[in-house]
Amino acid sequence: MSPSRPAPRAVPPAAAPALALLALLALPGGSLAGPGQLNANSGLLPAHKKMQIVGGMAADIKEFGHQVSWLRAGRHMCGGSIITPEYIITAAHCCVELNLTISEVLAGSTIIPSKGRGQVAQIVDVYAHPDFDPMTYTSDIAVLKVYPPFRMDESVRSIPIIDPANSPHTGDPVYVTGWGKLSEFSSTAATILQKVKVQMKDFETCKARYGEIPMVLTDTTFCAAADGKDACQGDSGGPLIYKMGDKDYLLGIVSSGKGCAVKEFPGLYTDLRNERMRSFVSKVTGMKL
Ligand SMILES: *[C@@H]1O[C@H](CO)[C@@H](O)[C@H](O)[C@H]1NC(C)=O
């Protein structure tokens, strides 16, 4: 059996996307072994799967000031998280239909379209993880450099990346945010940021379940879901955070999953505790992780 990739959670794109420029930018100084280059197969994937938070509730951007929207031609495409004033973490699969000319990042607005609320920056560099595999969604991480840098204020702030020593355990609550449409049938309606509480799931159980599809989960992925209401994922590229005391930490990146509200198939998130994910972010941004 050949491994299957996660089923899109929503409508596929109307037409197969033109294989847009995938020659992602090399690091300044060339400290990575070559530029992140997406597999040509990735042109078959939707750049975003219009994943919506299901069973969540409206949230205010002031509570999740690290959350951004990657806009394509003015429309929300993927989520992301501010890790420094000039760097955003998102998912590598969001870079598939990359077109910097029509891309911008919106921070500090609860509502999309923002109609002047918040801050908008251009994307100047895109770094997708060189090991991103569009068949398995392994290493589904990318870093965007924006200009001008975001100004931190009550609605815009950076979020620290989790220290693996302080990570949650199976069953612990974590939070996912993203922009879900208010109306399934309206593509123009304003959308309000949504949040949902889910739980960390046992990785081996989750991996075994996905193995039946079959889909191979690797150590760059973790699983989270909520029993009963079974949250769908938030928008691809967006944050999954762990709250410790009154501090928020970025633990995961919304990546993929089978179906939506499929109880035995939790959502899949890129794991920021993984050493290779951390060293990638360090190399790109210079952050010590
Ligand atoms: C990017 O978008 C611009 C503006 O719509 C368009 O002219 C250009 O052809 C696009 N580039 C690619 C590579 O799709």
pTM: 0.82
Closest by alpha carbon to 128, among 252, 19, 24? 24
Ligand 1 binding pocket includes 99 (Cβ within 6 Å)? yes
SS3 content of the chain, % helix, strand, coil (to 5): 15, 35, 50
SS3 165: helix
Closest by alpha carbon to 210, among 252, 137, 264, 254? 264
Q: Which helix (H) or strand (E) holds 247?
A: strand 247-256
Residues in the chain: 289
Ligand 1 binding pocket includes 21 (Cβ within 6 Å)? yes
Residues with Cβ within 8 Å of residue 15, at least 6 apart in sequence:
none
Tell how far the Cα of 96 is from the centroid of ligand 1, in angstroms. 14
Neighbours of 179 (CB within 10 A): 26
Ligand 1 binding pocket includes 19 (Cβ within 6 Å)? no
pLDDT of amino acid 229 = 45
pLDDT tens across the length of the chain (289 residues): 344 445 332 222 322 232 222 223 222 222 222 222 233 233 323 333 444 566 778 899 999 999 999 999 998 889 999 999 999 999 999 998 799 999 999 999 999 999 999 999 999 999 999 999 988 899 999 999 999 999 999 999 999 999 999 999 999 999 999 985 544 444 555 688 988 899 999 999 999 999 998 899 999 999 999 864 444 544 789 999 999 999 999 999 999 887 565 678 898 999 999 999 999 999 999 999 9
Residue 27 burial (10 A CB sphere; 0-12, 13-18, 19+): middle
Tell how far the Cα of 97 is from the centroid of ligand 1, in angstroms. 10
Residue 22 CA to residue 216 CA, distance in Å, equals 25
Q: Whose CA is nearest to atom 6 of ligand 1?
A: 101
- Measure the CA angle with vertex 10, ends 133 and 225; round to 5°: 75
Could you identify the atom of ligand 1 that is nearest to the CA of residue 97? 14
State both tokens at 133: 């595999």
Closest by alpha carbon to 239, among 157, 149, 125? 157
pLDDT of amino acid 259 = 59
Ligand 1 binding pocket includes 100 (Cβ within 6 Å)? no
Could you identify the atom of ligand 1 that is nearest to the CA of residue 18? 14
pLDDT of amino acid 53 = 65
Ligand 1 binding pocket includes 2 (Cβ within 6 Å)? no
Could you identify the atom of ligand 1 that is nearest to the CA of residue 20? 13
Residue 228 burial (10 A CB sphere; 0-12, 13-18, 19+): exposed
Q: Per-domain residue ranges for the chain?
A: 57-285
What is the distance, to the nearest Å, from the Cα of residue 99 to the centroid of all Cα atoms in its chain?
18
Q: Contact at 8 Å (CB) between 156 and 108?
A: yes
Instruction: Point out the residues that are catalytic.
Output: 93, 140, 236
pLDDT of amino acid 180 = 59
CATH class of 57-285: mainly beta
pLDDT of amino acid 108 = 98
